[in-house]
Amino acid sequence: MSFDIRDDRRYRETHEWARPNGAVRVGITDFAQDELGDVVFVELPEAGDELTAGDEFGVIESIKAVSDLYAPVSGEVVAVNEELFDAPELVNEDPFGDGWMLKLDPADEGEFDDLLSPAAYRDQTE
């Protein structure tokens, strides 16, 4: 099975992605949503919360499993994807797009260098 991995973002070992584009968008990868199966519940922080890279920022539940979500980079939460509360299946359907979770105002752009490149993340999932 091969999974979609996008070149326009970087990855954490725990299967979150971060895409720098002004504010940083954060979500989970195609590989992660496939491992979880049908997502039924997402718990996210509130706008204004401050996250440090590596913090647990929320929880994602599928029918069969509960997983913690980890912040790929530090920053202030400027928006959360509230559509996921009513339509958590968006994480399965479009993990890199409509299934995004957070927008962060990054505290330190240098932290991106600590994340995995698309190629390194691909190696990890194969």
Binding residues vs another protein (CB under 8 A): 1, 37-38, 40-41, 59, 61-64, 66, 85
Distance, CA of 106 to CA of 78 (rounded, Å): 10
For residues 61 and 76, which CB has a smaller minimum distance to another protein in the complex? 61
- The SS3 of residue 103 is strand
Return the number of the residue (23 or 92) whose C-beta is nearest another protein: 92
Burial zone of 113 (CB within 10 Å; 0-12 exposed, 13-18 middle, 19+ buried):
exposed
**DSSP assignment string, 12-29:** -TTSEEEEEESEEEEEE-
Smallest gap from residue 125 Cβ to another protein (A)? 15
Mention every residue, 6+ apart, whose C-beta is less than 8 A from residue 15.
28, 29, 31, 32, 35
Smallest gap from residue 122 Cβ to another protein (A): 20
Q: 64 or 113, CB closer to another protein? A: 64
Q: Rounded distance, CA 86 to CA 108, Å?
A: 32
Kindly tell me which of 60 and 73 has the beta carbon lying closer to another protein. Answer: 60
CB of 30 to another protein, least distance (A): 14
